[in-house]
Structure 1
């Protein structure tokens, strides 16, 4: 049985290209290459079933509406900054972009016009350039494939009350131990990716905060000439016992590299910790840090923070060079919270990246 969908996106035009807008500041966009997608989007404002949408699409192809029928629409739009809001049973234009959202006089409701012709969106972007010359949509199977492509890109969403939550409709996580009971935890997969990026740069006199000596071999840090580990409490594989908040625990400018994975979130004052790391590093020394963004509370001994990308940039602002490594997407974010393992997702699902849904944020910073 085919699912039902609704349009769910914002559109604008820039440099003669139609863009899908993913955030309020319009920094994250993607280009609509195929003009037919605009028609399909508009149909799904009013029709939720794929069968009904295809029927309407065929009618539009057979009898396109004359441009004169829509000419009154642009009388309301005097700016090139307009944004088109396409969603369930609603087609609106924000005449001056998102800045006009709170002002009703700056919004134009074109839902009725759209319901009459299903071609208002195409008319609004009639001057746009489209580069995708794909085959004519002349079969239901091909139409269904396009719909699925649009769903994957976030242009269409399951219609209201059509979500299939399945095993996620539950009060408790699938695995309370981050997914380890089912395989590999999501954040472990991303930590391995980050280590693969920075492994050769972990050199010289290295201090790992919150780790043990075995990690040098586990992580493959073969360029370290000396490997020390610091932790709050004594245990096997810890060479230095002390509080990372204490600046005297390590001699200033004595380290070439500091490694600190999944530790800052447990520090009451992570800014103090980063300041100490800066002082312990030699000139041009490097710090490699990872923090979780999507992870259940794990108070070992405490759990205080989830530093986000811009927060990490602020924490490491005194370093002369910074490079962020971000990993995750909506699916892996949910998987991380629910304890779904790496083995239960495909490589593509794990590798897909969405900047608004980081599972982990990693930082490589040079003093």
Structure 2
């Protein structure tokens, strides 16, 4: 099939198939992100159940995170061979199986095996579901990708909170089995509802406009994504310490973080559509400049005004990511969309894991205020990179 024929076939996808693709991807994203954050709820339960120390708990969390981050690229390659629908359905079922194994675990060894299995399953979602939405909507994908990203935040809130409610009426073992059943239902839904024709472009298409000329542009996009993720995680690491210095109690710190997360969810949803309307450069300028200014603002304000600023800061802090995700298909080297998303997510997830360590070392040297100032400077550094990226598009 020619490249033109492939593009025409996908462009002719009826609206109902586009919507089905989007909502199936949203369901998968909500489940997978909820599964990811569910681990935070389980750690204190496992500590009490199995008398595990903090070091072992950190190791457990790292096992899942490392498996998920390290297998993004292999998951993209598997999707290119057997299709995104099959890979995502199998990955979702594998993550559910991991939680089922965790429910049967009686010690640290069993939990280690379960978390590796969970991480392997979770690695399939980001590159494949993102690519499915981008292929379904083509040039109009930025807004739908914002909706897709917003669904992940819904899952982060819904699944851990739902799990905490289930713990009122059942043991944690039964709670995990119930959530594993939910995962199997979503896996079946992916296998049924995600269109089967959203595979990688043909070899002829890969030799087309998305050739080697986009490689430099994709590298810049990846660098922006890494810095953006670093700013977000670095800021969230030091925000509680700043609030405590301003006189906040632990309950107020929790409320403040909730305000940031609510704003962040709104930012992911809104900025994807803003990027589609006003373009990459204008939206990134707004969000990154707004992030830098908002961070500097909370550094000088007292507690009460800081709390008022935090939702807007959350919008700016998370909004850039939706715009960047929407640009990945445009710059995918050789048109390999799944691989491009896999590399992009590997970089941003890895940056989110390492940035708190680097900013923490800096914080030991210059204090929390100095570390937060460094996150604002990092956000400002993204602006010239975005301008350079626009010259490549």
Q: The TM-score by the shorter chain falls in which range? A: under 0.3
- Largest Rg, 1 or 2: 1
The alignment's TM-score, normalised by the length of structure 1, stands at: 0.23
The alignment's TM-score, normalised by the length of structure 2, stands at: 0.22
Higher helix share: 2
Which protein, 1 or 2, shows the higher relative CO under an 8 Å CA cutoff with sep ≥ 6? 2
